[in-house]
Amino acid sequence: MTSPTLEPRFASAVRDELTAIGTRSSLLERRQRRSRLLTAGAIAVGVVAATTGAGLVAATAPGSTTVAPSGDAVTVTRTGTSTIELGPRNGANAVILDVTCVSDHGAISVPTSGGLSFDADGTTAASPGTTEWDCAETTAVVHIPTGYAADGSASITVTADPGTEWEATARWGVSTTSDWGVNSEGQTYGEPNALRGYPDLVPVRASNGRDGFAYSKDFIRPHSCGDSLPVYAVNGTTVVGEFPFGEPSGPGCAPGGAKPSGAASGVTTG
């Protein structure tokens, strides 16, 4: 398994998301999630997990989602909230967008199809979400591979504050999610995804640098910063290291090691 290193701020944000499973801080679990775009980029398709200063990126890992362009691209310049007409879907199930702030102020949000809910019993369900960012903080092109358009719709609406000008190139896409792997114990492993939810084992990198898997159910139990989980080989039984939830004195941790509510990096709750 290859494991390129992520930009540290991005890696930290993805790691915060994985450790927030089962809390109000989780980006994926909110039925109407809202994510503030990070300067290093939004949590993207193909990112599985990240630990201290490093990450696990596997665009072809079991359960990964890929989106192939379909149809012609449409480029627009708009101010405030506006709808982009995309034409016939022709079997497409996602919208690929590149959005750029023209104004240096105002918030922009785009509906996405990557949301998940995950309750204490481990039941998952897909739900539309929202990716949101502030033009005062983000000047780079924002790439959204899984924009959401309702069934039967031929358009997507970009919501922006009045007076906020933006440019976008949008086109239909065909989203495909691969099957999870199954180990010798009959346990599933691979990437969480909106189609199937969370597998039994999710990829992580242990603090000793070794790649392995942690049980997704373990992330929903109460934990404090400084706690850690065992990291296993793909068989789910051989321990290869530990996955730390965070350093007690590090970002997102309150004095004494308790993680404050809503502390996941780059996430707005409510």
> What digits encode the pLDDT tens for the residues 138-160?
989 999 998 999 889 999 999 99
| Residue 24, pLDDT above cutoff 60 | no
* Mean pLDDT for the chain overall: 72
Paired with 131 in beta bridges are 35, 110
Strand boundaries in the chain, DSSP class E: 34-36, 47-51, 54-57, 65-79, 82-85, 94-101, 107-118, 124-134, 142-147, 155-160, 165-177, 181-182, 188-189, 201-205, 211-215, 228-232, 239-244
Considering only residues 69 and 259, tell me which one the structure prediction assigns the higher pLDDT. 69
Global confidence as pTM: 0.62
Domain residue ranges in the chain:
8-31+39-64+178-244, 65-177
**CA 112 – CA 130 distance, rounded (Å):** 5
Which range (54-63, 72-81, 87-96, 112-121) has the least confidence?
54-63
Tens digits of residue pLDDT in 226-259: 778 899 999 999 999 998 865 554 444 444 433 3
The average pLDDT across 210-231 equals 80
The hierarchical CATH code for the domain 65-177 is: 2.60.120
**CA 192 – CA 194 distance, rounded (Å):** 7
Which of 29-38, 173-182, 245-254, 259-268 has the largest mean confidence? 173-182
